[in-house]
């Protein structure tokens, strides 16, 4: 027992901080459509975590994943918008749209971080035109890819954002 | 209800006097943290294993800071649970105990160990561990009383145990509350901000003083010094010894014996 405790105490000295962490992502999407709902796919580092249509007015997507302490890329691929999804009724346009209303990571509402650090790259069809990249856009009226680059450990990412380092 | 009084003696009082009397050299934050880390782990009176599983070590302003930081990290009072017979602070916040067997799945539990109601681990500790395993409940341990304890057995590597807070204040150091949080994963909360955002010159004086005291007060000082007196008092009064130096069972009721040990500064 004495030897075991001695060995234990030696292990303590060389113990290191972890190199990965479990992170909980919680998305809230709003969705409007008259014909077919918008489709989204959520990826982190090109791994798909969610792929479905946003059928309800408000849709919550939640998952937990383990990420290494390094750079990461969170993407939302928004699809399903075609010319046929838009129509005029009594002079008013009805169309298909969706928005990322809220993203919480480990219970922290990212809010301003989304608006200042994310970008949306629309995929315009032949009838549309606009900016190639829209900073901080969380309303997905067009098909396209929304992206937020972040790092893990996530607390350090937030600390760096607040410090203005990123 | 037991009226607990934190024990104090001349040696501990003198440690405070030395701190105020002597000129001090400021040490860097890592030195202070490392001294405290080794001090907490150096207990010979308790059997705490699995320290190496707690890779994140952060300075705190004591165990109340640990608790408050935990609550902030949970985003509020509704997002964690406690057991009955817990630290009164939770009741002050309007948080009441959930019975063992009725814990809510996936909702973190904060627990006081050792618990002063039994001067030991809770008698239902093994049932709590099992239920938390079955219901995927993370456990966070407030070990404020560990410095005054003996024979406490705890395996920190248990998968449900996610963090533990320890403090030095029970060595009559309430005037300089400092502790460490050991955790398996850091989350954004008050302690993380203190350790990872306000990195430079934050509470240097507080932590220098804590290091100063830890370098002078042996980790198991109370039991090493007062075990014989405690045992004699128990034998003379037909009390049953507990794992807390200043608590005994007196006719099945927990009794604080700080006065009887001659360790109550207010009685002198």
Check residue A6 and give its pLDDT: 59
pLDDT tens track for B113-163 = 999 999 999 999 999 999 999 999 999 999 999 999 999 999 999 999 999
Check residue A128 and give its pLDDT: 87
Chain B residues within 8 angstroms (CB to CB) of chain A: 41, 49, 51-52, 54-56, 73-75, 79, 184-188, 192-193, 196-197
Contact partners, residue A119, CB within 8 Å, separation at least 6: A133, A134, A135, A136, A137, A146, A147
Check residue B76 and give its pLDDT: 84
pLDDT tens track for B73-87 = 988 899 999 999 999
- Burial group, residue B105, by CB count within 10 angstroms (0-12, 13-18, 19+): exposed
The two three-digit tokens of residue B69, written as one number: 């930081």
**pLDDT tops 50 at residue B268:** no
Q: pTM here?
A: 0.88
Chain A residues within 8 angstroms (CB to CB) of chain B: 8-9, 11-12, 15-18, 21-22, 106-108, 153-156, 158-159, 162-163
The residue of B39, B163, B185 whose CB has the most chain A CBs within 10 angstroms, and thus the best one to mutate to test that interface, is B185
Mean pLDDT of B229-249: 97
Higher pLDDT, B104 or B198: B104
The residue of A62, A152, A155 whose CB has the most chain B CBs within 10 angstroms, and thus the best one to mutate to test that interface, is A155
Best CA proximity match to A146, nearest among A2, A38, A17: A38
Write out the H or E segment, with its range, that includes residue A5: helix A2-14
Q: What is the mean pLDDT of chain B?
A: 94
Contacts of B52 in chain A (CB under 8 A): 8, 11-12, 15
**ipTM beyond cut 0.85:** no
* Interface size, chain A vs chain B, as Cβ–Cβ contacts under 8 Å: 46
pLDDT tens track for B15-65 = 999 999 988 889 999 999 999 999 999 999 999 999 999 999 999 999 999
Using 50 as the pLDDT threshold, list the residues of chain A that sit under it: none
- A163 to B197: CB separation less than 8 angstroms, yes or no: yes
């Amino acid at each position: 027992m004495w030897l075991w405790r001695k060995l234990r105490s030696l292990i303590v000295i060389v113990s290191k901080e972890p190199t990965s962490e479990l992170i909980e992502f919680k998305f809230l999407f709003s969705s409007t459509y008259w014909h077919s709902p918008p489709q989204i796919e959520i990826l982190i580092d090109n791994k798909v975590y969610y792929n479905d249509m946003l059928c309800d007015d408000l849709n919550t997507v939640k998952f937990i994943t383990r990420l290494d302490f390094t750079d990461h890329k969170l993407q939302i691929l928004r699809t399903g918008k075609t010319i046929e999804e838009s129509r005029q009724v009594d002079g008013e346009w009805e169309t298909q749209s969706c928005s990322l209303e809220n993203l919480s990571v480990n219970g922290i509402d990212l809010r301003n971080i989304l608006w200042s650090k994310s970008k949306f790259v629309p995929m315009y069809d032949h009838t549309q035109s606009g900016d190639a990249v829209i900073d901080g856009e969380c309303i997905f009226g067009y098909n396209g890819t929304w992206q937020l680059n972040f790092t893990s450990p996530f607390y350090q990412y937030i600390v760096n954002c607040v410090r203005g380092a990123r | 209800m037991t009226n607990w009084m934190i024990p104090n003696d001349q040696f501990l009082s003198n440690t405070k006097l030395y701190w105020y009397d002597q000129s001090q050299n400021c040490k860097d934050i890592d030195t202070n943290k490392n001294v405290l880390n080794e001090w907490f782990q150096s207990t010979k009176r308790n059997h705490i294993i699995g320290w190496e599983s707690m890779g994140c070590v952060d300075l705190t302003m004591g165990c109340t800071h640990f608790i408050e930081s935990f609550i902030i990290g949970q985003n509020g009072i509704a997002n964690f649970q406690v057991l009955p017979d817990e630290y009164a602070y939770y009741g002050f916040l309007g948080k009441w105990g959930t019975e063992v067997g009725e814990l809510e799945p996936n909702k973190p539990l904060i627990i006081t160990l050792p618990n002063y109601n039994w001067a030991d681990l809770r008698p239902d500790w093994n049932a709590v561990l099992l239920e938390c395993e079955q219901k995927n409940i993370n456990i966070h341990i407030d070990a404020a009383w560990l410095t005054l304890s003996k024979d406490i057995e705890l395996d920190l590597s248990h998968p449900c145990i996610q963090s533990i807070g320890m403090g030095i204040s029970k060595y009559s150091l309430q005037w300089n509350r400092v502790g460490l949080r050991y955790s398996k994963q850091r989350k954004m909360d008050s302690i993380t901000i203190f350790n990872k955002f306000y990195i430079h010159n934050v509470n240097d004086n507080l932590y220098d003083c804590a290091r100063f005291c830890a370098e002078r007060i042996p980790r198991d000082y109370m039991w090493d010094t007062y075990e014989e007196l405690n045992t004699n008092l128990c034998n003379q009064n037909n009390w049953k010894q507990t794992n807390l130096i200043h608590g005994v069972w007196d006719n099945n009721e927990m009794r604080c014996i700080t006065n009887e040990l001659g360790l109550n500064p207010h009685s002198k």
